[in-house]
Structure 1
Amino acid sequence: MRYFILLFAALVLCSVSSCNKDGLPVPASTQITGSWRWVKSVGGIAGVTLTPQSLGYSFTQVYGADSTFKMYKKDSLTLSGKFSITRNYKYSATETFDLLKINNQNPTAFIIRNDTLYQNDVFISDGFSTVYVRIRPD
């Protein structure tokens, strides 16, 4: 688990030093807005890898500009509510990252790179690291 936290911290450091095409930083709250398709989750006590293929179903997360959140399993709504983002949360003396909180669930650390959303359970010992990709409108 320590390895995943260190890897995630490295990704966060890379993102802090990067910019968008215009050279202006894009706030995380606007970057996350839109629809995201689940790719995989890795972690847990057994260190398992879960994918839509291995489970036989997919998840889609939708983040609204008005801070609304919806999660679909296949095409059925399974969770809805509000999300919030805490920027630059100080996890330790050397680690800071952005937190994503959905309803009253434990927040996850997150980073967005090249239309890929990485979420990491940092407040759970054997949590999961999850990857989503942005769904582009046709």
Structure 2
Amino acid sequence: MKNFLLVASAILLCSITACNKGNLPGPGSNSIIGKWRWVKSVGGIGGFTVTPQSSGRTFRNEFNADSSFKRFQNDTLLISGNFRTIKDYKYSPTQTVDILSISGPALDTRPVSYLIRHDSLYLNDIYIADGYNEVYVRMK
């Protein structure tokens, strides 16, 4: 579970898009700015699926327009730091992805790819073959 928290934290900390405070995104936006509720994580060596129901934990990630990041577990602040995003990162000779990177005191995070579709945020490990892929929904 400790590895799951580290991977989940790293993934969340690795992405942001440029946005100003006066123009916060609404539903259906492709901006990462806002609050995101964890739905599930899938992966690991065994291909496990972990949900709030199966783990007994909830997670919420907050990406702010000033590039600050906060992660809450069961409504208690778990980690905080800063994030940045890189658009169209050339991951391989034939593939580009958008990258999310999160940093802060005592954080050892790896960049993750992110994709926003409708009101869902998908975070995927790109440098770990058996890492976790996470799904979040935008909180209204």
34-43 or 104-113, which deviates more: 104-113
**Structure possessing the higher radius of gyration over alpha carbons:** 1
3-state SS, counterpart of residue 54 of structure 2? helix
Higher helix share: 1
Question: Which amino acid in 1 is paired with 2:128?
Answer: I
Could you list the structure 1 runs, at least 4 aligned residues long, displaced by more than 4 angstroms after superposition.
Answer: none
Task: Give the TM-score, by structure 1 length.
Answer: 0.77
Please state how far the C-alpha of 1:70 moved relative to its aligned partner. Answer: 0.1
3-state SS, counterpart of residue 91 of structure 1? strand
Q: What RMSD in Å do the two structures reach over aligned CA positions?
A: 1.2
Q: Tell me, in whole angstroms, the C-alpha distance in 1 between the residues paired with 2:57 and 2:43.
A: 19
User: Where does structure 2 lack aligned partners over 5 or more consecutive residues?
Assistant: 1-15, 20-30
Taking the TM superposition and a 5 Å limit, the aligned residue runs for 1:19-38 are: 28-30=17-19, 31-38=31-38
Partner residue in 1 for 2:133: 129
Compare relative contact order (CA 8 Å, sep 6+) and give the higher one, 1 or 2. Answer: 2
3-state SS, counterpart of residue 53 of structure 1? helix
* Corresponding pairs, count: 110
Please state how far the C-alpha of 1:28 moved relative to its aligned partner. Answer: 3.9
Deviations 1:82-127 (A, max 9, x none): 0010111101111001000111410110010101000000111211
Q: Percent identity?
A: 49
Task: Give the TM-score, by structure 2 length.
Answer: 0.76
User: Where does structure 1 lack aligned partners over 5 or more consecutive residues?
Assistant: 1-26
